[in-house]
Amino acid sequence: MSRRVVVTGMGMVTPLGLNVEDSWSGIKAGKSGVGPITLFDTTDYLVKIAAELKGFDAAQYMPAKEVRRRDRYQHLVVAAGKQAVESSGIEVTDANRHRIGTIIGSSVGGVGAYWEQAQILIETKDPRRISPFGIPMLMVNGGSDLISIEYGTTGTSATPISACATGADCIGMAFDLIRAGRLDAAFAGCGDAPIIPIGIAAFDRVGACSRENDDPEHAIRPFDKTRPGLVFSEGAGVLVIEELEFAKARGATILAELVGFASTSDAYHVTAPQPEGIGASNAIQYALDDAHLNPTDVHYINAHGTGTSLNDAMETRAVKRVFGDYAYKVPMSSTKSMTGHGMGATAALEAAFAVLAIRDNVAPPTINLNVPDPECDLDYVPNVAREMPISCVMSNSFGFGGHNVSLIFKSFSG
């Protein structure tokens, strides 16, 4: 029999707040984190809005010298990771460090540092001007390594990458390693800081971005008939997950139990989802099978819900394929309507929101949902959070390239 796995700590930095409770308060209040881009000059750009962090100071989590030597996404991972470890109360010791892992990813890694260093080389044509810390800055595994070094964990350290599903895959991989007995605990999650000129320009050229610059707070509208596309964001989320007996032995506070995980591939297209949601529905079904649950056992679904035409319609079809008539009865909402789309990091944030939905018995809203779409006809909790009994939540994440991940959390008992 596989070992039970529980969540004992969480940390996050988001456009709605620089910790778990502030971010969650913004979610419950239906607050938008979208505004004008300030991280670079958007004069010549068609997209001028994003969901940036407000007031974030990496020096609160890292020495000033180290801040200068690291990419912004690594700053965010360290902040979320330290919050998660502190909230869990876990202590890494000589006796347990080899049984604790760091499974922390990033969908794009140090693209900000790469962009800056490339500009220096292009402008000066002098390779000696490149920073000697350029490689550590851009390493996609840098975030996981920093957390491992910070706490001295010597168990598995890994950095899965699966586009916008990365954070969920990291949590799922950690879950599997603990269930299989290879680890007793793990720090799992993801961070991304993609709001840079090349990131905005490239995603806009794919046709994925909202250009509604004059009304940032309403520029992302998941499942709405008038949805214009996604809005970039940045952030990080990290969970501390542990084998149940390991957590109980140290008197940990258990926030929820992680009971199901599945990861599939569309094998269809490098950017577009499989239209009928076959790969996504497989992930949903396999996660239910993994958890030994029926669709009717799920009380709320945190949707991927990007606000793009193709993704929202596909996700609706995928849920219907698995949930049948019950699809019309289970609330499903997109917290990206408030946080924006932080690439792989958002998948980790949404896993944390799933746990918080169980804790507070609140289904978060999908804000800006005002015009019904015949293709998207489920209960998306429009505009206002809903208080209701919630003891089982599914969190879905679907990424470019056809990556599909479903996680299932339950309230802890026993």
Strand order in the sheet with 100-105: 157-158, 100-105, 185-192, 235-243, 5-13, 256-265, 403-410, 392-399, 300-302, 332-333
Burial of 292 (0-12, 13-18, 19+ CB in 10 A): exposed
Asked about 190 being catalytic, the answer comes back as no
Asked about 392 being catalytic, the answer comes back as no
Distance CA 151, CA 370 (A): 47
Which residues are CB-contacts of 163 (< 8 A; sequence separation ≥ 6)?
107, 343, 344, 399, 400, 401, 403
Asked about 292 being catalytic, the answer comes back as no
Distance CA 314, CA 376 (A): 9
Q: Strands of 244-359 (E only): list them.
A: 256-265, 300-302, 332-333
Q: How far is C-alpha 206 from the chain's CA centre?
A: 22
Distance CA 106, CA 224 (A): 29
Tokens 């990033």, residue located: 106
Distance CA 52, CA 34 (A): 7
List 75, 218, 299, 304, catalytic entry = 304
For residue 141, list its beta bridge partners. Answer: none
List 75, 299, 341, 403, catalytic entry = 341
Burial of 41 (0-12, 13-18, 19+ CB in 10 A): exposed
Distance CA 278, CA 286 (A): 12
Enumerate the active-site residues.
164, 304, 341
